[in-house]
A = this chain, B = another copy of it.
Amino acid sequence: MGDVERWHELGQQLRVDSIRAAAVTNSGHPTSSMSAADLMAVLMTKYLHYDFDAPENPNNDHLIFSKGHASPLVYSMYKAAGAISEEELLTFRQFGSRLEGHPVPVLPWVDVATGSLGQGLPISVGVALAGKKLDRLPFRVWCLNGDSEMAEGSMWEAFDHAAFYELDNLVAVLDINRLGQRGPTMHEWDLNSYANRARAFGWKAIEIDGHDYGEIDRAYAEAIETHGQPTAIVARTIKGKGVKEVENKEGWHGKALDHPDEAIEELGGIRNEVIQVPKPEGDGEPHVFETGDLELPRYDEGDEVATRKAYGDALAALGSANGKVVAVDGEVSNSTFAEIFKEAHPDRYFEMYIAEQQMAAAAVGMQVRGWHPFASTFACFLSRAYDFVRMAAISRARFSLCGSHAGVSIGEDGPSQMALEDLAELRAVHSSTVLYPSDGNQTAKLVAQMAELDGISYIRTTRAATPVIYGPDEEFPVGGARVIRSSADDDVTIVGAGITLHEALKAADALAEDGVSARVIDLYSVKPVDAETLQAAAEATGGRIVTVEDHWPEGGLGEAVLSAFADADERPQVLKLAVGGMPGSGKPAELLAAASIDAEHIAEAVRRLVSAAAVT
C-alpha cells in the first residue's frame, strides 16, 4: 500500500471514529474533526515524533489542538496510535470518562486544556520557546488551529512573538474549513488573507489543499526544513468532508450526525488500524541551569521597601537556587521589578511586550515542560489574560502570577492603572493561591514558597515603599495569617493586608490613645484563608471585626473573611471597608483617605463598631 493510500485509509478511519465518538452522547464536533483528518493522518504517520508509551519523554514533539472542539479527532488519533482502545473511544463525553468534550490533561498525551479558542497557538509558542531556549532540545511543536479562532487577537500575539523569537520549531496548521459555529467565517476560503497576514507577521506561509495528501506531505517537509522562522500551513479544507449530508453545509457545527451508520458506510466502514507513530529522534536531556543555595533578600526592620521591589529581589534569589524558575513580563519589568531577575538570569527571562494573553500563555506552555514561570505585570492588566488563567486551571497548570500596582494607593496614574478587582478575579480560579504581602521580608518568604505550590499562585504587590515590619527570619506559611498586635482585652479585630495593614497599624495606635484596644491581623494569605486565627480573634475581641482592603467591596479580602465564618457556630459582626466610589488621580494618601481606607477612617469605623456594641 502506497503512502497516499495509507493516508486515505487513516483519514477515513479518523473520520469514522470521530462520527462514532460523537454518536455516543449525541454531542460533540465531528464535522470540525473531519475537515482536519487528512492533515492529521499525514502528520501522525510521518512527521509527528512521539512515543505514546512514554509521554514524559522530553524529546517528544508536542501536538496541541488549538481548536479543542475537534476532540473527536484527537481521540481518534490516540486510538489509531494504539494509545486508547475502541472501547474507551466510545466513552466520549460520558460522565467519568477521560475523553471529555474538549481535551484536558487528565489524559497523559494532552499538554493543556483547550476549548476556549485562540489559546492553543499562544500556548504552543510557550512550549516552543521552552524547547529552544530552556530545554534546548530539538522537539517540534505542531498546533492545529481553526479558522474561526483566527479572529482572536491572542492568535496575532502568538504570531508576533513566534516570529520575534524565531521559533522554527513551531508549525501552525490552519484548518480553513470556511464555516464557524453559526455561519461562514469572516474570510471564508480566502487563503491568501491568512497567508498574507502570517507573512506580514514574519512567518513562512504555505497554502495548500488540505485534502491533497501530496500537498500536505510537501508542506510538512518544507516546514521542517524552514529555519529562523515559524511556518503556517494554510489549508483549504471542507467541514464534514467525506459525508455528503454534512459536507460544507451550515448548521452542522457542534452536532453529532443524524445518520451515523450511513455516514460510516459512506466513508468505507469501521476500521481499526493501528499505525506506528514515529518515535522521537533525539535522546537528549533537558538543559539544567546551574544553581546554588537560596539566599533570600533581607531587609532591616524600620527601613522602607516596596513589596514589588522585594518581589524582584526575591525572584532573582529564587532563580539562583532553583534552575526551573523562569520569568516573563508584559513590558513593565522596571515597574514590577522582574528586571532584577532578568539581570541575574538573562537566559531565563522572556520579554512578552504588552501582550498579557501571550504572557500568560507562555507561562502555561513553559510549565508543560516542567519549568516554573513567574509572570508579572500591573495587577489590573492581568484582567486581560483572565480567560487564559481560567483555562490554565483546567489545564492543571502550575505557575505563578505577580500583579503590581494594586489599588488606589498607586496615586497619580489614576484608575486605569489601579487593580481593584484582582483579588476577586484570582480567588475565583480553581485551586488558586492568593497572597498579598505587606512587607519586604514577608514577600521574600512567600515568593520562595510559590515555586513549591501546585496550581496557580498569585502575589499582589504594592507600588509604594512601606515600612519593614518583620524580621528576615520570620516564617509566613501559605494559608496562615499573622496576629501582629494583640492583648488580653482587645475590643475589636482589624484585618488588613498589603498597604492597608500599615494603615491598620496606624489606626490601632490612634485607637490605643483613646483607650480602644485593637487586635491587628495581617491576612497575607487571602486564599487559602486562616479561618482558625480569624475565629480565635473574633472570639477574643467580642465578635467584632473590621476588614480593610484596597479593592472593590466584592470578592476580595472582606468576603474571604466572611466566608471563613459563613457556617461557623459564632459569626462576628464584620464591618467591611473597601473602595466604594470610582477613584481619580491624587497622592496615595489622598486617595486612601477618599476611599475611606486610611488609618483615620479605619479608626472611625472601629469607634462606630465598638460604641454601637457598648450601647446594646
Contact = CB atoms under 8 A, between A and B. Distances in A.
Contact of A101 (B387, B412, B568): B412
A95 B584 contact: yes
A533 interface: no
Interface stretch (A31-39, A273-281, A585-593): A585-593
Interface in A561-577: 562-563, 566-569, 571-576
Contacts of A153: 152-157, 355, 357-358
A413 interface: yes
B414 A353 contact: no
Question: Most chain-B Cβ atoms within 10 A of its Cβ — which of A155, A335, A415?
Answer: A415
A569 B202 CA distance: 64
Contacts of A407: none
A472 interface: no
Interface in A168-205: 180-182, 185-186, 193, 196-197, 199-202
Given A353-B151, A355-B151, A559-B559, A383 B387 contact: yes
A160 interface: yes
B116 A591 contact: no
Contact of A567 (B95, B411, B573): B573
A559 B567 contact: no
A312 interface: no
A100 interface: yes
A582 B164 contact: no
Contact of A354 (B180, B421, B590): B180
A171 to B, nearest CB: 20
Interface stretch (A40-48, A133-141, A317-325, A550-558): A550-558
Question: Most chain-B Cβ atoms within 10 A of its Cβ — which of A114, A151, A154?
Answer: A151
B393 A582 contact: yes
A501 B67 CA distance: 34
A566 B558 contact: yes
A74 to B, nearest CB: 13
Question: Most chain-B Cβ atoms within 10 A of its Cβ — which of A155, A186, A428, A556?
Answer: A428
A562 B575 CA distance: 12
Given A181-B334, A354-B180, A414-B100, A576 B567 contact: yes
A582 B430 contact: yes
Contact of A421 (B118, B193, B199, B390): B390
A157 B152 contact: yes
A414 B355 contact: no
A394 B416 contact: yes
Contact of A428 (B25, B424, B527): B424
A430 B554 CA distance: 9
A417 interface: yes
Contacts of A425: 386, 421, 424-425, 428
A413 B197 CA distance: 32
Given A428-B555, A567-B575, 6 more contacts: A94-B585, A96-B586, A151-B353, A182-B335, A555-B559, A563-B576
19 contacts: A25-B412, A93-B586, A95-B587, A101-B414, A102-B416, A104-B415, A115-B413, A116-B384, A152-B354, A181-B334, A383-B386, A394-B416, A420-B428, A421-B429, A424-B427, A554-B563, A555-B559, A558-B566, A567-B576
User: Which A-B residue pairs are the 8 nearest by beta carbons?
Assistant: A153-B153, A115-B416, A95-B586, A555-B555, A424-B428, A101-B414, A421-B428, A156-B156
